[in-house]
Amino acid sequence: MTTELETSQSAKSAHHSLASLVATIESADSVPSLPEIFEWLENATISSDELEPYTGFKEGNYWRHRVCRTEFIEMLVLCWRPGQRTPIHDHNGSHGGVKICKGVLWETIFSYDALKGLQYQNARELQASSVTGSEIPDLHQLGNPAGSGQELITIHIYAPPLGVLHTYKPGSAKIDLYVPDDLDELN
């Protein structure tokens, strides 16, 4: 089930810079739970200066940049122009959290039935500093609304790191495979 985290005062006790978040990820000796990932992201106070090396926008598709990756966890920064979005997908065995650093994130939630195919569940817009995430086997689509008029920057933490994802199309029972690019080149 896709979840948005509500913050309590106690959860804000220890703030993470990007460097301390990377150190936390790199020191992990197992796959963290989704609540742990939410806590890390909710406590992250990452400056524009820290994000700058991972910030870049392009036409056609959102831009992915890997910040760090271990055998248990990976962290990415995604940069989106208005109207850019992911395919409808699941994370094929990984759970993950997303923090909106700048802009508005549009999230649409789906379910899948082998006979009926893809089924719409609900949609929502999340503002800067919000945290959302998905458990296994949640299906969703993320994007920057075309009418937002602003760029979107998000931080994503996946555990275990992403591999081959399943993608889905409305009105179809067919499931396709998608391998995210290797991130070092603009796609």
Q: How confident is the model over 29-86, as pLDDT tens digits?
A: 999 999 999 999 999 999 999 999 999 999 989 999 999 999 999 999 999 999 999 9
- Asked whether the predicted pLDDT for residue 24 surpasses 60, the reply is yes
Question: Mean of the per-residue pLDDT values for the chain?
Answer: 89
Stated pTM of the model: 0.89
Tokens of 14: 């220890």
How many Å apart are CA 44 and CA 40, to the nearest integer? 6
The per-residue pLDDT for 70 is 98
Residue % of the chain over a pLDDT of 90: 78
The per-residue pLDDT for 4 is 45
User: In sequence order, which residues have a C-beta less than 8 Å from that of residue 21 and are 6 or more positions away?
Assistant: 40, 44, 46, 75
- Asked whether the predicted pLDDT for residue 111 surpasses 50, the reply is yes
- Domains of the chain, earliest start first: 3-178 (2.60.120.10)
Give the chain's radius of gyration (CA, Å). 16
The per-residue pLDDT for 181 is 67
Q: 150 in helix, strand or coil? A: coil
DSSP one-letter string for 29-74: -SPPPHHHHHHHHHTB---HHHHGGG----SSS-EEEEEEE-SS-E
- Asked whether the predicted pLDDT for residue 14 surpasses 80, the reply is no
Tokens of 53: 């090396």
Q: pLDDT higher for 40 or 173?
A: 40
Q: Which band of pLDDT confidence, cut at 50, 70 and 90, is reported for residue 171? A: confident
Q: Which band of pLDDT confidence, cut at 50, 70 and 90, is reported for residue 16? A: confident
- Closest Cα to residue 137, out of 29, 63, 34, 40? 34
